Amino acid sequence: MPKPKKRGSNHQRGAGGQPRNVQPFSDEDASIETMSHCSGFSDPASFTEDGPEVDEEATQEDLEYKLKGFIDLTLDKSAKTRQAALESLKSAFSSKILYEFIMERRMTLTDSIERCIKKGKSDEQCAAAGLACLLCVQMGSGIESEEIFKTLGPVLKKIVCDGTASIQARQACATCLGICCFIVTDDITELYSTMECLENIFTKAYQRDRDTNGVSSTHNTVLHISALLAWTLLLTICPMNEVKKKIEMHLHKLPSLLSCDDLNMRIAAGETLALLFELARETDADFFYEDMDLLTEKLRALATDGNKHRAKVDKRKQRSVFRDVLRAVEERDFPTEMVKFGPERMYIDCWVKKQTYDTFKEILGSGMQYHLQSNDFLRNVFELGPPVMLDAATLKTMKISRFERHLYNSAAFKARTKARSKCRDKRADVGEFF
């Protein structure tokens, strides 16, 4: 007769490599303004009217306690537990400024990340690489970050170049390698070495049109894209003489990637071309590209692509991107974008700035705005100056009332509905709208 199951058999277990139930870092934890010397720079939209007072010291201790637990769990025997702990730390690092907390534990975190990348499987390696990016973003450019990169750099390069590792892990490590090098490297030799490592990966995509044996398979395309974007990011901080060499080396080869079947590869190649042209014209105002007519013809075809075998969403995205790329190549123009974060505004007015912003937005996600407000390193990169100090009273005066917000939204909704109705009316005179 089988024994009845004991209650609580699925409770947290730590011995024998059994998985533990790890409670992830939640949005509620992320919303607590704690754990930083910049904790007062909250978004005005998040400031609640007449809300209850929060014991910041208590919430700080609670957050520290949770994060310490996650750091300990990165050494657990269970791979699932380690991965869950890494993901929780990523959520915390992307949503808060934790400089002082991390400074005291940076070597422990570095050792954990190194161990997870070396011995973990694909998903764990991806999570560890993502955490390494956020660790360097938190620490900024300094001696401590250089020590972290000296430890993790060789490990990341080994995974990127390892053909037996999973594509996802190699992709994550390529992105991590580029971002960490961008943040911490003052050594020009290390910068060139990292760029060469990434070049050895994405240049294999050039061979696709020439090699009938399919050396550059579709399976590897995601890796080539990540390596290309990471290399492009590093190119933006290279000395001008090195930029000229790279332009001469790649400008005639990159257009071949515009014919790739993968949409993301076409877009990555197009944006990289726009950035190369921008840098080339900065170094030489009279820069001349021999195959300009052929290139603009390709770009115009992609900007007006109407192939029925492609999804509508893909075609819309491709046309939007390549219209901007074509304008950059032909007219030296860039569509300026404005980014709002709290009471501040940032204008993205060139391809170099766009590439940098898109890279950090990809790893920080929804925490990008908070880091733009509070992270000294990012503010230095985008030339925003020191963080703006706002007290609670100022934040409260900046916040509009709920009734005013309701009136604004109602008016905007009516105006939008009216405009759309006109556009949908077949009898409307098209000429008056354009």
Whether residues 224 and 108 fall in one domain: yes
> Is pLDDT at 53 greater than 70 in this prediction?
no
Q: Comparing C-alpha atoms, which of 240, 141, 230 is closest to residue 186?
A: 141
Residue 4 vs residue 293, higher pLDDT: 293
Asked, for residue 301, whether it belongs to a domain, the answer is yes
Nearest to 128 by CA among 85, 164, 92: 85
Q: Is 304 in the same domain as 345?
A: no
* Residue 43 maps to a domain: no
Of 299, 332, 365, the last residue of a domain is 332
Q: Both 254 and 316 in a single domain? A: yes
Instruction: Say whether both 230 and 243 belong to one domain.
Output: no
Q: pLDDT-derived band of residue 5, with 50, 70 and 90 as boundaries? A: very low
Res 29: pLDDT: 55
Stronger pLDDT, 192 or 214, i.e. the higher one: 192
Is the pLDDT confidence value at 213 over 90? no
48 assigned to some structural domain: no
340 exposed, middle or buried (CB, 10 Å; 0-12, 13-18, 19+)?
exposed
Q: Which of 332, 360, 383 is the last residue of a domain?
A: 332
Q: How far is CA 332 from the centre of its chain?
A: 26
Tell me the pLDDT tens digit for each residue of 369-422: 999 999 999 999 999 988 887 655 554 555 566 776 777 778 877 777 777 776
Residue 197: which CATH number?
Answer: 1.25.10.10
Q: Is the pLDDT of residue 214 over 70?
A: no
Q: What count of Cα atoms within 13 Å lies in the side-chain half-sphere of residue 277? A: 28
**Residues 77, 156 share a domain:** yes
Is 423 a member of any domain?
A: no
Q: Judge if 323 and 391 occupy the same domain.
A: no
My answer on whether 185 and 256 are in the same domain is: no
Residue 246 and residue 117 share a domain: no
- Has residue 8 been placed in a domain? no
- 96 and 187 fall within a common domain: yes
pLDDT per residue over 217-242, tens digit each?
567 999 999 999 999 999 999 999 99
Domain that holds residue 305: 238-332
Distance CA 215, CA 197 (A): 18
Residue 300 has pLDDT above 80, yes or no: yes
**310 and 178, same structural domain?**
no
pLDDT of 31 higher than 70: no
Mean pLDDT of the chain: 83
SS (H, E, C) the chain: CCCCCCCCCCCCCCHHHCCCCCCCCCHHHHCCCCCCCCCCCCCHHHCCCCCCCCCHHHHHHHHHHHHHHHHHHCCCCCHHHHHHHHHHHHHHHHHCCCHHHHHHHHHHHHHHHHHHHHHCCHHHHHHHHHHHHHHHHHHCCCHHHHHHHHHHHHHHHHHHHCCCCCHHHHHHHHHHHHHHHHHHCCCHHHHHHHHHHHHHHHHHHHHHCCCCCCCCCHHHHHHHHHHHHHHHHHHCCCCHHHHHHHHHHHCCCHHHHHHCCCHHHHHHHHHHHHHHHHHHHHHCCCCCCCCHHHHHHHHHHHHCCCCCCCCHHHHHHHHHHHHHHHHHHHHCCCCCEEEEECCEEEEECCHHHHHHHHHHHHHHHHHHHHHHHHCHHHHHHCCCCCCCCCCHHHHHHHCCCHHHHHHHHHHHHHHHHHHHHHHHCCCCCHHHCC
Amino acid, single-letter form, for residue 403: F
**Listed residues 285, 315, 332: the one ending a domain:** 332
User: Considering the domain boundaries, does residue 379 fall inside one?
Assistant: yes
pLDDT digits (tens, 9 = 90+) for 117-150: 999 999 999 999 999 999 999 999 989 999 999 9
Q: How many domains does the chain have?
A: 3
Task: Quote the pTM value.
Answer: 0.79
- What confidence tens digit (pLDDT) does each residue in 155-164 have? 999 999 999 9
Average of pLDDT values for 321-347? 93
How far is residue 331 from each of residues 277, 278, 334, measured CA to CA in Å?
11, 11, 9
- Mean pLDDT to the nearest integer, 292-310: 89
Q: Based on the domain organization, do 259 and 369 belong to the same domain? A: no
The mean pLDDT of 67-74, rounded to a whole number, is: 95
Residue percentage of the chain with pLDDT more than 90: 64
Q: What pLDDT is attached to residue 285?
A: 86
Average pLDDT over residues 174-203: 94
Query: Burial code of 123-153, b = ≥16 C-beta within 10 A, e = fewer?
Result: bbbbbbbbbbbbbbbbbbbeebbbebbeebb
Same domain, residue pair 222 and 249: no
Average pLDDT value for residue range 357-365: 96
208 pLDDT tier (thresholds 50, 70, 90): low
Q: Look at residue 430 and tell me if it is in a domain.
A: no
Residue 349 in any domain: the answer is yes
